[in-house]
Amino acid sequence: MRRAIDTLFGRLVVIVIGMLVLSHVAWFAIIRFERDNVQTRFAVEEAVFLVEAVRQHIANTPDQPLPPRVRVVPLASPDVPRQPDENMPPPLQRFVEDLKDRLPEGTDVRLSEPGGPPSVWVHGVKDTGWVVVPVQPLRPPRSRDRMLVWLALIFSTAVLAALFGAWQLQYPLRSLAQAVGRFGRGQPTPPVPERGPRELRQLTHGFNQMVREVSQTESDRAVMLAGVAHDLKTPLARLRLRAEMMDDEKMRDGVVRDVDSMAHIVDQFLVFAHDRPDGSEPVPVDEQCERIARAYRAVSPGAQPIRLKLEAGPAFALPAATLDRLLSNLLDNAHAYGAPPVVIETRREAKGWVLSVSDHGKGIAPDDLIKASRPFVRLDPARGGSGHSGLGLAIVERLARRVGGECEIGNRAEGGLQVAMTFPFDIATRPVEERRAGPQHEERVS
């Protein structure tokens, strides 16, 4: 099961959002803390200024009235508030302590009782009474909702910008990963645009160069193989004709069998080197499997019995030529190396249509499964005769991938080899060019 967190973009999203959340929470806490400190310092300075102003007013112009909310109260007045207790809120405690630090030593500072206008009572050593001055509320009503709205707006904008940047950063890498996957599956791989940071551009450039060199090598090998195989067909035809004219019947039959084996190998070379799109019309796979099985029994009466388990239905269709080559190679391989019965099966799965051919032989050693589809590799030295070139499974894998499918070779739990090919649901409706290009055409369109 694919999870979004497993992708580079998913992890970048988690990192970006996590860092933004941490930074915004930290800034929010710092702003609130600093705002409280600034407010406390401002209130202290304002109170000190008013107390000094009142003392100067009493000393210089005692006959002039004091401003509103500023007064001098006798020491024995019953309105004098009580001493601050330890249960006072921390901001008020900090305010009282800072105010005492700013006033002369020995000054008594008290706060008005709750419920009335906020004011501070100050009595110094030389004061004849309590100097009462107003003070700004340390915790005035604040518009927290507005602050949270602005914080959410800034956070959302930052997240969107960061996600766009992360998407721009991972998009070239995603394209490169898709190209690497296509190249690893043996499908045609167009050049990847060289975008992104310098290191990624260098990596993409190196990958494109590697793909070009490998494609050129593969093309040269296919041309050479096709040319050699084509040039051998004429001498083989002449050799067969001369063998038919031999008088010794036993020797004639042996030479004809050898010529037929060589011709079969040459045909396999030509099929393997063939790199043109299959322009044949799609045919229902279930019906074609039945016809091929009947024809195979008719041509080879002594061949292994073939069982059919066709459950895909008429919607599963493949190009006729490709399907014939797939089944003929798999049936020949099962007849040569497997044990009866041979089972041809079709079905529909979540990933797509499945066509599989299995036998009941010994299968392939687990260590050799990875080499089973490599061209010109014979897993058993005794398989070199009878016209076998080591191309059967390689041709099957190449033909399946050429039309956009996947080929999986493995051993059955009950014994025997099984070759399962999975094709996308829309394989029958694709144009010839798309079947030739495979799944990467869809990725480019999307």
Q: What is the pLDDT of residues 139-198, one digit of tens each?
A: 554 555 566 777 778 878 888 887 787 777 778 888 888 888 878 766 778 888 888 778
* Pairing assessment for the beta strands 317-319 and 306-310 based on DSSP bridges: unpaired
The 10s digit of each residue's pLDDT in 190-217 is 888 888 778 888 888 898 998 888 877 7
Tell me how far apart the alpha carbons of residues 12 and 441 are, in angstroms, rounded to a whole number.
Answer: 28
Whole-angstrom Cα distance, residue 405 to residue 353? 9
Please tell me the distance from the alpha carbon of residue 300 to that of residue 295, in angstroms, as a whole number. Answer: 8
Distance CA 421, CA 6 (A): 28
Count of CB atoms situated within 10 Å of the CB of 128:
11
Closest by CA position to 392, among listed 364, 366, 415: 364
Is residue 132 within 8 Å of 119, Cβ to Cβ? yes
Q: Which domains does the chain have, with CATH numbers?
A: 4-134 (no CATH), 279-445 (3.30.565.10)
Structure token digits, residue 259? 């010529």
For residue 12, the one-letter residue type is: L
Q: Which of 26-30, 125-129, 218-222, 437-441 has the highest mean predicted lDDT (pLDDT)?
A: 125-129
**What letter would DSSP give residue 142?**
-
In the Cβ-directed half-sphere of 216, how many Cα atoms lie within 13 Å? 6
Q: Is the pLDDT of residue 78 over 80?
A: yes
Q: Angle CA(277)–CA(391)–CA(222) in degrees, nearest 5?
A: 50
Q: What's the whole-model pTM score?
A: 0.46
Q: Between 77 and 372, whose confidence is greater? A: 77
